[in-house]
Structure 1
């Protein structure tokens, strides 16, 4: 009985560790957002440390820290806040993390205070190419 409890404890720890690792969004994410002037290349750098999710958002309009970032049950949410013509402009992101892909939606303010615009969003985690091994010297 004691061995069974020990085995179950180890199994629970392994499952918890795997679930935490599987849902870790840390890394560099890239995507293009459609606009009237063509695609906007976007990069998001995320870090999950001690349960705290932080990140930086970069596109042709510059860099900014994300706000209200959260990850719950593989659902990632965050906001990007910018100033546009003297007005605060908040874009909401919501997506589901599955491996190296986030799929979800972007909700941006409507033109001249109109209805918000919702766009599909798919981001890919950028994995740097592995460094080739140095051949042994003869």
Structure 2
């Protein structure tokens, strides 16, 4: 009887130390960036444009695509993607008028909301803007 109680206590302690308890797993899944994210921004012409970001987390590695932006544009692969504790970072390189433009994304995932910033240089001018994406239920 005494050995059985000690084994149960040891197992419970091991589960806690390894982070295998239910609440830890639920929190990790809740703040996972894996999924489809959408947000809208206003273009210079005043029209709203929807951006679609598809992400997949594998440990600390993050892969995915972001919508290309034009009517016939193809999705663009993200680069240098990483995720840690619900924080994502990645870059996207686009071609515009024969010039390579790289945007750097950094955001925090909390449930079905991703809030962050996009930093880029266009035409020699540095820009930084905020975005808030919602996880798509599709």
Aligned match of 1:113: 124
Specify every segment of 5 or more residues in structure 1 that has no aligned partner in the other structure, as ranges.
129-138
Q: Give 5+ residue unaligned stretches, structure 2.
A: 1-5
Q: Residues of 1 paired with 2:68 and 2:137: CA distance?
A: 19
Shift of 1:87: 1.0
Question: Under a length normalisation based on structure 2, what TM-score does the superposition of the two structures give?
Answer: 0.80
The alignment's C-alpha RMSD in Å is: 1.8
Native 8 Å contact 1:40 1:59 kept in 2: no
Q: What is the number of equivalent residue pairs in this alignment?
A: 126
Q: Residues 1-12 of structure 1 correspond to what in structure 2 (within 5 A)? A: 1-11=6-16, 12=19
Distance in 2 of aligned mates of 1:52 and 1:106: 19
Paired residue for 2:102? 90
SS of structure 1 residue aligned to 2:64: strand
Equivalent residue number for residue 25 of structure 2? 17
Deviation track 1:91-130 (CA, whole Å, cap 9, x = no partner) reads 11111100010011111214x202x1111110000013xx
Q: 2:34 aligns with which of 21, 26, 29?
A: 26
